[in-house]
Amino acid sequence: MQTSEMTPHTADASDDLPLLRVSNATKYYGDRIGCKDVNFELYPGEVLAIVGESGSGKTTLLNCLSTRLAPTSGVIEYRNRVGAMRNLYEMNEAERRMLMRTDWGFVHQHASDGLRMSVSAGANVGERLMAIGARHYGDIRATAIDWLDRVEIAEDRIDDDPRAFSGGMRQRLQIARNLVTNPRLVFMDEPTGGLDVSVQARLLDLIRGLVSDLGLSVIIVTHDLAVARLLSDRTLVMRRGHVIETGLTDQVLDDPQEAYTQLLVSSILQP
């Protein structure tokens, strides 16, 4: 097993340097803009929310950042574990895929996109370990049990298929599956979408706990400003493919400067 991939992220001097740097990221779909001239830096341990209405380019941007979709132009750099800043799209595919399954996580909106629905919960959690060379069944299973416990899934469900799980459980399983290799950066695409409010609240609580325990950096895409408020340190507001406002989450949500952000904030229903 490549133990270097497994060490949890610890605070060190490189915490002062950005983990991810996005410079003029632009994606065109033909003539149409997906996202245009996006610039930001993400620091270790930081949670960044990307908010905006449907079609504003949030998911396009997330896909560009997570190497799932090549941008038309612009540079996206990531600081790897040895401290070198690498342009993601100049890395070869093997390196990118290695990143995706060790140093990074991706939590999909629909758990069925992120899980193997036909294999047991334990194997779902263990897959990444086996992918980086774990070959001891007992150890893999013990790690899987530990992670299921951390996302509040009972140990006796370890051999059940995710198909037998509720929506909330599937989402928690997906998180466990991603975090098992102790990634440094996790992308989340509407992780609470499609869940009812009480389940959402528990999931958000869990994510918040894990993020602070593990010192994760997270980029979370959401249309739900409450999710942004609860989880994120900084928020980036997108509209028609452009970033129109950015700042500390509380600042952006409490004192929005842009007319569109004001509209977005004021459109939240108050129960």
Partner 1 sequence: MTGQDTDMFSEHYNFAYLDEQTKRMIRRAILKAIAVPGYQVPFASREMPMPYGWGTGGVQVTAAVIGSDDVLKMIDQGSDDTTNAVALRGFFIKTTGVKATTKTSQATIIQTRHRIPEEPLTENQTLVYQVPIPEPLRKLEPRETETRKMHALEEYGLMHVKLYEDIAKYGEIATTYAYPVLVNDRYVMDPSPIPKFDNPKMHEMAALQLFGAGREKRIYAVPPYTKVESLDFQDYPFEIQRFEEPCALCGAENVYLDEVILDDKGGRMYVCSDSDYCEERREQGHLGHMAANPIAEPENSGPRA
Q: Which residues bind partner 1 (CB under 8 A)?
A: 93-94, 97, 101, 116, 119-120, 122-123, 126-132, 135-138, 140-141, 158-159
Nearest approach, Cβ of residue 128 and partner 1 (Å):
7
Spatial neighbors of 244 by CB under 8 A, at least 6 apart, are 237, 238, 258, 260, 261
Nearest approach, Cβ of residue 105 and partner 1 (Å):
16
Nearest approach, Cβ of residue 91 and partner 1 (Å):
13
Spatial neighbors of 255 by CB under 8 A, at least 6 apart, are none
Nearest approach, Cβ of residue 137 and partner 1 (Å):
4
User: The tokens of 105 are what?
Assistant: 């996580």
Nearer to partner 1, 130 or 259 (CB): 130
Spatial neighbors of 143 by CB under 8 A, at least 6 apart, are 125, 126, 129, 180
Nearest approach, Cβ of residue 262 and partner 1 (Å):
45
- CB of 99 within 8 A of CB of 78? yes
Nearer to partner 1, 1 or 85 (CB): 1
Nearer to partner 1, 29 or 137 (CB): 137
Q: Give φ, ψ of 28 to 5 degrees.
A: -105, 140
- CB of 219 within 8 A of CB of 188? yes
Nearer to partner 1, 97 or 208 (CB): 97
Assign 3-state DSSP to the chain and report helix, strand, coil percentages, each to 5: 40, 25, 35
